[in-house]
Chains A and B, each alone.
Chain A
Amino acid sequence: GDSVTQMEGPVTLSEEAFLTINCTYTATGYPSLFWYVQYPGEGLQLLLKATKADDKGSNKGFEATYRKETTSFHLEKGSVQVSDSAVYFCALSKLTGGGNKLTFGTGTQLKVEL
């Protein structure tokens, strides 16, 4: 079945450091790929998405490129801030009877320190 694998956390960085959170997927067909973020005490929020190979999703300084050849969707940010501290979830979806059911990775906690 479909699955998503992302790097274990927590990831601890200093403010203004470069961030990469790795995500790879296994799926048949052509899934859409997503990054969701969960800030402390809040729900899951869509951060960015890409719906086909070579698409780049971007939002709030974060970027991820849909790489079909490596089945990856790594999340990057050039300069993190303390306010980026959160749990980041990689996910994929394909059309199903329920309309785009999401398959999630385990989540990676990011801690950004001053």
Chain B
Amino acid sequence: EPEVTQTPSHQVTQMGQEVILRCVPISNHLYFYWYRQILGQKVEFLVSFYNNEISEKSEIFDDQFSVERPDGSNFTLKIRSTKLEDSAMYFCASRGDANTGELFFGEGSRLTVL
């Protein structure tokens, strides 16, 4: 069964460092998403991506964040200068159909900022 894969599963970094989280969405999907969950809090929408551009982003997704689909298969989330409050589980998701398709999630990447 096709699945969304994410790497790394866990990353520990120092405050101020750049982090790139990688995702391989399901191959025929067109809509891509990043969500995050700070421990004990809600799963929050960060950004959606379609046709090689951001289609919507939340207030959380400030200038420190960026997304890219560099090669037609990977979908990356970059945090330029990590802060302690960026520590969270980051989930990638993809969807084939905008209106009715199920959102398929990866297993998540846990980011710990020290």
Q: A99 to B98, Cβ gap below 8 A?
A: yes
Q: B99 to A100, Cβ gap below 8 A?
A: yes
Q: A43 to B99, Cβ gap below 8 A?
A: no
Knowing A99-B48, A103-B45 touch, does A44 contact B99 (C-beta < 8 A)? no
**Interfacial chain A residues near B40, Cβ < 8 Å:** 106
**Interfacial chain A residues near B42, Cβ < 8 Å:** 4, 104-107
A103 to B44: give the CA distance in the assembly, Å. Answer: 7
Q: B95 to A100, Cβ gap below 8 A?
A: yes
Residue of A nearest to B31 (CB): A99
Contact with B along A87-103 (1 / 0, CB 8 A): 00101000111111111
Q: Is A79 an interface residue (CB 8 A)?
A: no
Count of CB-CB pairs between chains A and B under 8 Å: 66
A91 to B105: give the CA distance in the assembly, Å. Answer: 14
Within 8 A of B (CB), among A1-39: 4, 36
Knowing A41-B107, A43-B105, A44-B105 touch, does A98 contact B43 (C-beta < 8 A)? no
A105 to B37: give the CA distance in the assembly, Å. Answer: 11
Q: A98 to B91, Cβ gap below 8 A?
A: no
B interface residues with partner A (beta carbon < 8 Å): 3-4, 6, 31, 33, 35, 37, 40-45, 48, 50, 55-56, 91, 93, 95, 98-99, 101-103, 105-108
Q: Is A45 an interface residue (CB 8 A)?
A: yes
Contact partner of A98 (CB less than 8 A), chosen from B31, B106, B108, is B31
Residue of B nearest to A34 (CB): B103
A interface residues with partner B (beta carbon < 8 Å): 4, 36, 41-46, 49, 89, 91, 95-107
Q: A100 to B98, Cβ gap below 8 A?
A: yes
Shortest CB-to-CB span from A109 to chain B, Å, is: 11
Q: B43 to A99, Cβ gap below 8 A?
A: no
Contact partner of B41 (CB less than 8 A), chosen from A41, A42, A96, A106, is A106
**Interfacial chain A residues near B3, Cβ < 8 Å:** 43
Shortest CB-to-CB span from B24 to chain A, Å, is: 13
Q: Which one of A41, A98, A100 has the greatest number of beta carbons of chain B within 10 Å? A: A98
Closest 10 CB pairs of A and B: A98-B48, A99-B98, A98-B56, A104-B43, A44-B105, A43-B107, A98-B55, A43-B105, A106-B42, A43-B106
